[in-house]
Copies of this chain bind each other. A is one copy, B any other.
Amino acid sequence: MKITCPKSELTNALSIVAKAIASKPQTPILAGIFMRAENGILELHATNNEIGMVCRIPVDIEEPGQIAVSGRYFLDVIRKLPGDSLTITYNRTEKIINITSNQASFTLLSMNAAEFPTVKEIESNVEFTIKDNILRSLIKKTVFACSKDESRPVFTGCYLEVADNKVTMAATNMHRLAVKYEQFAEPLGNIKIIIPANILQELLHNMTSDIPTDVHVCCNFNQISFAFDNIYMTSRLIEGAYPDYNYVIPPNHDTLVTLDSAEFNAAVDRVSLISRAGDYNVIKMEFANGQLHITSNNPDIGNAEETIPASIEGPEVTIAFNAQYITDVMKIIDSKNCELRLTKPLSPMTVREEKDDAFIYVVTPVRTAH
Contacts and interface: CB of A to CB of B under 8 A. Distances in A.
A267 interface: yes
Interface in A87-128: 96-97, 103-109
Interface in A63-83: 70, 73, 76-77, 80-82
Interface residues of A, number: 33
A307 B104 CA distance: 7
A308 B273 CA distance: 55
Contacts of A2: none
A96 B297 CA distance: 13
Contacts of A97: 302
Given A109-B300, A273-B76, A306 B266 contact: no
Nearest to A81: B270
A83 to B, nearest CB: 11
Given A73-B274, A103-B307, A274-B73, A269 B302 contact: no
Nearest to A77: B273
A142 to B, nearest CB: 28
Contacts of A301: 70, 73, 108-109
A304 interface: yes
B300 A106 contact: no
Contacts of A304: 77, 104-107
A303 interface: yes
Contacts of A307: 103
A214 interface: no
15 contacts: A70-B301, A73-B302, A76-B273, A77-B270, A77-B273, A80-B270, A80-B273, A97-B302, A103-B308, A104-B306, A106-B273, A106-B304, A107-B302, A108-B301, A109-B301
Contacts of A266: 82
A274 B73 CA distance: 8
A305 interface: yes
Contacts of A306: 103-105
Nearest to A269: B80
Contact of A105 (B105, B108, B305): B305
A63 B178 CA distance: 51
| A103, A303, A305: residue with the most chain B Cβ atoms closer than 10 Å | A103
A68 to B, nearest CB: 14
Contacts of A77: 270, 273, 304
A303 B103 contact: no
A266 B81 CA distance: 9
Interface in A168-221: none
A140 to B, nearest CB: 25
A7 to B, nearest CB: 13
A82 B82 CA distance: 47
Contacts of A303: 106-107
A342 B82 CA distance: 27
A107 B306 CA distance: 12
Given A109-B300, A302-B96, A104 B274 contact: no
Contacts of A82: 266-267, 270
Contacts of A80: 269-270, 273
Contacts of A302: 73, 96-97, 106-109
A275 B70 CA distance: 15
